[in-house]
Structure 1
């Protein structure tokens, strides 16, 4: 496996602004602008640079004064000196052992640079031999071809994922439905793992969601939090234009739940939205269910603030349901419930149900241990009729699935299975038997993890990077290659200094080869690449796999195909399959209910 660094170089131009300007703005001629546009499409911002006769290798945002110097006008010896210094600066900047350099400049620049590049670097001069007019025509054709190619990529990515009648029937029949929070988790469907290149610039138009990559969704619905949906502005505009289902590329049959995203403003004195605003938001974007405006009480700094947030959430729930009924909205209203102890959650739930809600949603519990959540649910269960559904925000815990169901919970949401793919220190890949493996870390030698590397150290890191990637690719064809674990350990020490060695975890993952036996669509298609910790397109695919596996583990737990237990206070155990016989809450002494 080879991973050459792609670099693009743009020749400067004679037409310039008359005032000091960033290099990308200093040169104003159509040839320079067209070449810069093509270079950025080829290599991106970080790997594009400008060739200046006066200044050598120039960063795009380096401020330059106007000057008047042409490389072709310099004596041969001066051009030779310029080429040696500029090529050296390029090698120092990128340090790549293998590189593909695209030079979008005239012949004097190419002739001066080419002899001084490392032998392992491949030089591409797409406009070689063309006149100035010919280069302008070439750039125009390249832009047109790129536009057509982008349109084809968008057509492949932007489609509504169908769902089958079988999935609908199974999803609607689940005792506990799982909602996956949307956090813009998408990947390039045509990412080239061999060369580490994307098929198009990362954007909503060109990337796919997990449910577009699997035969059927690995969830029962999606959750969109307004705090997440409001940023960036381009996302908010597209959501408003398309509606929430089309934006997420799911048909109307897939339920989409909306909430405010209270953790996003938990440190603020008051929510940034109003009840009237939330009613309009849910209606205009086409949500199926919407949760009333809440403010997390458990994280309040004082008893007074905690009580104020608690009362505000209750008042908002009352106003929300009244406004919903007055407007005759078709979507389903859910009442938010906050608290800081079993008693306060139960009292809030009682009041919200009395308002007339058929669904309530308990928030502020995402950091609470499972035993604390169970204590709260047992109190809430006493005051909430069986006809009222309970949703738990951020608490999709498979080991407690049957306990939740026994206590009236009908739906949960969590992004934890997805996020553990890159946030967990050593358990990044979930299997269908509930085991977990570490992903093998091979960060980019030119990436943020190794940003302090330079010169010979960087060159060494890049040689090791290449060796590690080639060794991992060989694992697809047979046993772990000799020396791979050593290379991984040495590369880790260079790029992730101070981190505890992952050698034992890497060995376990590579010897077990869990991707070989996984039937999920991504593991079947990409193999070991799903287990490589390296960049968005690998890491999020692993997260998608985790959601696939977790959704099935949740189903197993609900069908009693396993008998998980939860550790309670004092080290005792509670059999979750027999929770219905438990009449008293477990020990729960903290004044804040173990939530804050």
Structure 2
């Protein structure tokens, strides 16, 4: 039976379980780790198959990590990764733990800042299931001989130096890991297909049957798949690949075919947080579809307040014009109202009508009318009197995406544990709502991965 696991890299991605999107309130005196919840704690559905934690993120007992405060680092080493990540409950026992050194975070340094001693201590005290050897990332990649010929010689020389460091560390790491409690992964780096094949072969010669493919996060999908196809022909039959930091989920069937049994990525979360994307699994097509979540900026946020401060005359003109064109249903005719009050009333009207639309007490047209009015007064592009036709077309297209998202009400049919709290918990608005939307995306991707894996195994059975 084929296998494919999705690992989620830990970057302290917490949300406040007490957050209320309607009132925009949260836990008083909120403390991120103590009060926050991990994705697997807040979702009703499976969030991921495993979590990946980096030494560079956590740090050592002597060296501060990128994300962890010293107190958290000490707690991590004292209790281990499973306890620290709150995976020690029975319902989370099947979630695996993988550790790596976090080479992406020190890519600019001449050599890795950690020792193999520190890495092994991290894995042992963390009680990881899998530990990845100490590597030094290689980013230049030539997909074929023509591209290789154009690669500058200094880049090739530096790549070779880093590959040598990675393989030398892998040899010592493998030998020492044989008496450890975790299973060892070697890291294959390369700047060409041949150099990747060489790395894989050398790692297999050391004894590795678990190998991560590193440094390909910037590669184009066809180049990645072409590399994996070659590696699948060259590898030992028992060797399993893990893709480091990259998982373009639509290619899971190809990954499985080429011997990839796991991958890690923060992409679903980040697409929700920064891209405003909301994922939906279309069960008819077995594909993940992306919608652009409607955006409601916070009136009291610095960005909106700065906009008001710098654009009062323009905003006044827009409100007057929208009023004349009957583009909102509230009364803003009182000349004593400040611009802050006008914007705030438009925000409140927008939110109230969307909540009412969600419950069915207001029709879509009235809700979308209020939404458009608030968007036009808080999006600086609408306030530009010299806006080009190209920009107007972009805004119109974006508004159509918002319209589709609101009209389809996808969140109403989702039982992930976040969406069923209502639209104001997944709207494009604040860190809490954006992060929740990203966590929802994790559950969708994991469900999609499970379906894809079943299809592959069913097809294997038929053959």
Taking structure 1 as the reference length, what is the TM-score of the superposition?
0.61
Match of 1:447 in 2: 301
Determine the C-alpha separation between the residues in 2 that align with 1:471 and 1:281: 52
Show structure 1 runs of 4+ deviating over 6 A.
Answer: none
User: Alignment partner of 1:543: what SS?
Assistant: helix
Instruction: Give the Cα–Cα distance (whole angstroms) in 1 for the partners of residues 72 and 348 of structure 2.
Output: 37
Q: Cα gap change, 1:383/1:429 in structure 2, threshold over 3 Å: closer, same or farther?
A: closer
1:52 matched residue in structure 2: none
Q: Among 177, 180, 188, which residue is 2:16 paired with?
A: 188
Larger deviation, residues 464-473 vs 248-257: 248-257
Of 429, 449, 454, which residue of structure 1 is paired with 2:279?
Answer: 429
Which structure would you say has the larger RCO, counting Cα contacts within 8 Å and 6 or more residues apart? 2
* 2:164 alignment counterpart: 311
In the TM superposition, 1:535-546 aligns within 5 A as 535-546=430-441
Q: Whole-Å Cα distance in 2 between the matches of residues 381 and 237 of structure 1?
A: 41
Pairing 1:197–2:28 present: no
| Aligned ranges 1:287-326 → 2 under 5 Å | 287-299=128-140, 302-325=155-178
Instruction: Report deviation, 1:372.
Output: 0.9
Checking the alignment, whether the CA contact within 8 Å between 2:353 and 2:370 is kept in structure 1 is no
May I ask how many residue pairs the two structures share in their alignment?
Answer: 390
In the TM superposition, what is the alpha-carbon distance from 1:245 to its structure 2 partner? 0.7
Match in the other structure for 1:477: 359
User: Which sits farther off after the overlay, 299-308 or 353-362?
Assistant: 299-308
Deviation of the 1:508 alpha carbon:
0.5
Conserved? CA contact 1:186–1:208, under 8 Å: yes
Matched, 1:375 2:375: no
What residue is the counterpart of 2:444 in the other structure?
549
Alignment pair present for 1:347 and 2:176:
no
Counterpart Cα distance in 2 of 1:305 and 1:361: 20
1:27-426 to structure 2, matched below 5 A, reads 175-200=3-28, 201-215=30-44, 217-229=46-58, 230=65, 231-233=67-69, 234-251=71-88, 253-299=94-140, 302-325=155-178, 328-424=179-275
Q: Secondary structure at the match of 1:431?
A: strand
Counterpart CA distance in 1 for 2:101 and 2:347 is 43
Structure 1 residue 373: deviation in Å?
1.0
How far off its partner does 1:484 sit? Answer: 3.3
Classify the secondary structure of the residue corresponding to 1:294.
coil
SS of residue matched to 1:498: helix
CA RMSD of aligned residues (A): 2.5
Deviates more, 1:403-412 or 1:484-493: 484-493
Residue 318 to residue 440, structure 1, CA distance change in 2 (3 Å): same
Name the SS of the counterpart of 1:379 in structure 2: helix
Q: Report the CA distance between 1:307 and its aligned residue.
A: 1.2
Q: Which residue of 2 aligns with 1:25?
A: none
Would you tell me which structure has more helix in proportion to its own residues? Answer: 2
Distance 1:299 1:490 in 2: 48
> Take 2:116 and 2:447, find their aligned partners in 1: how far apart are those partners?
37
Which residues of structure 1 form unaligned runs of 5+?
Answer: 1-172, 563-576, 582-596
Describe the shift of the 1:225–1:432 C-alpha distance in structure 2 as closer, same or farther (beyond 3 A).
farther
Change (3 A) 1:213 1:343: same
Indicate the residue corresponding to 1:534 in structure 2: 429
**2:454 — aligned with what?**
559
Q: Name 1:152's counterpart in structure 2.
A: none
Say which of 345, 369, 374 aligns to 1:491. Answer: 374
Secondary structure at 2:113's aligned position in 1?
coil
Match of 1:463 among 329, 332, 345: 345
For residues 561 and 495 of structure 1, what CA distance do their matches in structure 2 show? 48
Question: For each residue in 1:316-355, what CA deviation from the matched residue of structure 2 results, as whole angstroms up to 9, or x when unmatched?
Answer: 1111112223xx1111111111112221111101101110
Distance 1:520 1:428 in 2: 13
Indicate the structure (1 or 2) with the bigger Cα radius of gyration: 1
Q: 1:480 to 1:273 in 2, by over 3 A?
A: farther
Whether contact under 8 Å (2:279, 2:444) holds in the other structure is no
Residues 431 and 514, structure 1, Cα contact 8 Å, conserved in 2: no
Alpha-carbon distance between aligned partners in 2 of 1:223 and 1:238, rounded to the nearest angstrom? 17
For the residue of structure 1 that corresponds to 2:225, the secondary structure is helix
Show CA shifts across 1:78-116 (max 9, x none).
Answer: xxxxxxxxxxxxxxxxxxxxxxxxxxxxxxxxxxxxxxx
Listed one character per residue, the Cα deviations across residues 220-240 of structure 1 (whole Å, up to 9, x for unaligned) are 111112222223324323322
Q: Is the 8 A contact 1:419 1:543 kept in 2?
A: yes
State the shift of 1:395 in Å.
2.4
Query: Unpaired runs of 5+ in structure 2?
Result: 59-64, 142-153, 313-337, 383-393
